[in-house]
Every structure is written in structure tokens, then in C-alpha cells.
Amino acid sequence: MLNIGFFRGQPNEYVAKYVAGRLVAEGPGLAFYYLKHKTQIVVVPTTSADGHFVFNEVAGDFQEITLQGQFVYRISDPKRAAEALNFALDMRTRQYVADPREGLVQRIANVIQTRVRDQVRSRPLEEALQTAQETADAVNAEIAGGNLLGGMGITLLGIHVVAARPTPEVATALAAEYRESLLRKADEAIYARRADAVQQERKIKENELNNNIALEEQRRTLIDLEGANLQRQAEFEGLALERRAVSRAKAIELEAAARAEGLEAAGRVAGELDALKILALGLHELSASADRLLTAKRAE
């Protein structure tokens, strides 16, 4: 009874049971009883795992560069992985006989490093520093496209660069050059700001001058309008005076004509009155003469 054991695998583990060197059961998360003296159990984890790397390479301009980062991988074909590496368990300790994960991570890192070396050597140092993650993405695509890890049953999920550094001496030189470029940019910004201030001041003066010109033109237009208005007013006043003079002359002429007509009428009336007066006097004299004659006749 002591020679019988029980094993239960996890759902994310590929389990293979060998009895006397012969495969009798395999699959994810198997659970079974086994005879300890003639059973071997292989357990391949299928979850994703991380691996770290530090690559010291030489850029295209013969400058050293250090790339540090990590990659994520997963065992997608447990059978191939079990054939390439030893995932057998020590049934007494339930631990791997020889942990295969270290060797697996090193193999993946070696494949990645060879491709990274080709990418870095094709670029100068500054470009390699600036495009470190792009290099990692290109390497990841190249490994996936060429199925370079398929022989080990591995799928590379991603490569991430966390640091890209040159040597300390080169870093100091690059920092100095970058610092100088920043100072030049600062000086250029100051000059540009001063030039912009001068330009703005010139625009302000131009605007003031344009405003003064516009005001003078408006003033000249106003003076022209005032002069035209005064001239028109004088013309209107002269025309009014002329019309008044004509009207007055006509009035005087009419008045003179009326006076002349009145005098003529008065003369006619006076003439008529004088004739009547003479007739009346003659009649009066005739009547007086007739009375004297009558009186004389009566006296006889």
C-alpha cells in the first residue's frame, strides 16, 4: 500500500504518465494513482512566464550599447517541450529532477540576442538608443514569422526593453552634446522672443501710423465736406437773396404800378368831381339868374 501514490495536476499543466518507460496517459490536469517504483510523471506548465535579459552589443559605429529588458513566453506545444527539455518530477519531493525553466529561458534569450545583434549592428549608436523598443518589436516579429522557437514548442508573446544605455564615457559625451543643443535652443528661443517683440513693436507702430493716417484722411474728408457744405450753403443763401431781390423788385414794381393806377383813378375821380362841381355851380348860377328874373318881372 505504501508503494502507491496519488497525483493531481493543475488545469494549466500538461501531465504525461509513463509506466516502465511507456506513455500510458497524457493531458491537462490529470489525476491518477500510480505505482511509485515504476512510474514517471512529466509536468509541463502551459501558463505564460517571464524571462530577463541583459545584452552587451556593439552598434554600427562601433560604440558599445547595453540593452536590458524582459520577454514573455508560453509553452504552446507541451509534447515538443517535453522532448526538448526534462520536465520529469522527483516523486519523493514533487519537484523537478532538474529545473528545465532556467535552460529554457537561456535558450530563448540566445535566440533573441542573435536577432537583436543583427538589428543593433545595422544602426548607429544614437539611433539604436532611440529605437530600442522598435528593435525589440522587429525581433519579436522575426522570431514569430520564422517560427524560430517552434522546435521547442515555445511561443514568444512579447519583448520589452526597459533600459538602453551606452558606456558611461559615451553617455557623458552625449549628455554634454544634448546639453549644448538645449542651451542653443534656449538661446534661439530668447532671440526668437526678442525678434518677435521687435516685430510686435513694429506692428504696433505701424498700426499707430496707419491709425494716424486714417484719422488725417478722415479729418481731410471732414474738412472737404465742411467746405462743400459751406459753399453749398453760400450758394443757397445767394440764390435765396437773389430770389428775394427779384421778389422785392417785383413787389416794388407791382406797388409802383398800383400807385400809378391809384393816382390815375384818383385823377379820374378828381376830374369827374371838378366837372360835376362846375355843372352844379352853373346850375346854381342859372337858378339864381332865373330867380332874379322872376323877381324883376314881379316887380314890374
Task: Using a pLDDT cut of 90, give the percent of the chain over it.
Answer: 44
Asked whether residue 160 carries a pLDDT value surpassing 60, the answer given is: yes
Asked whether residue 121 carries a pLDDT value surpassing 60, the answer given is: yes
Asked whether residue 101 carries a pLDDT value surpassing 90, the answer given is: no
Q: How confident is the model at residue 275 (pLDDT cuts 50, 70, 90)?
A: low
Asked whether residue 269 carries a pLDDT value surpassing 60, the answer given is: no
What's the predicted TM-score (pTM) here? 0.58
Over the chain, what HEC string results?
CCCEEEEECCCCEEEEEEECCEEEEEEECCEEEEECCCEEEEEEECCEEEEEEEEEEECCCCCEEEEEEEEEEEECCHHHHHHHCCCEEECCCCEECCCHHHHHHHHHHHHHHHHHHHHHHCCCHHHHHHCHHHHHHHHHHHHHHHCCCHHHCEEEEEEEEEEEEECHHHHHHHHHHHHHHHHHHHHHHHHHHHHHHHHHHHHHHHHHHHHHHHHHHHHHHHHHHHHHHHHHHHHHHHHHHHHHHHHHHHHHHHHHHHHHHHHHHHHHHHHHHHHHHHHHHHHHHHHHHHHHHHHHHHHC
Asked whether residue 140 carries a pLDDT value surpassing 90, the answer given is: yes
Asked whether residue 245 carries a pLDDT value surpassing 80, the answer given is: no
Alpha carbon separation from 43 to 20, 31, 86, 104, 151 (Å, rounded): 17, 12, 9, 15, 18
> Using CB atoms within 10 A of its CB, is residue 132 exposed (0-12), middle (13-18) or buried (19+)?
buried
Asked whether residue 84 carries a pLDDT value surpassing 70, the answer given is: yes
Structure-model confidence comparison of residues 7 and 260, the more confident one: 7
Cα separation, 103 vs 84, whole angstroms:
10
Asked whether residue 1 carries a pLDDT value surpassing 60, the answer given is: no
Cα separation, 283 vs 276, whole angstroms:
10
Q: Which pLDDT score, from 0 to 100, does residue 257 have? A: 77
Asked whether residue 205 carries a pLDDT value surpassing 90, the answer given is: no
Summarize the confidence of residues 222-233 as an average pLDDT.
83
Q: How confident is the model at residue 50 (pLDDT cuts 50, 70, 90)?
A: very high
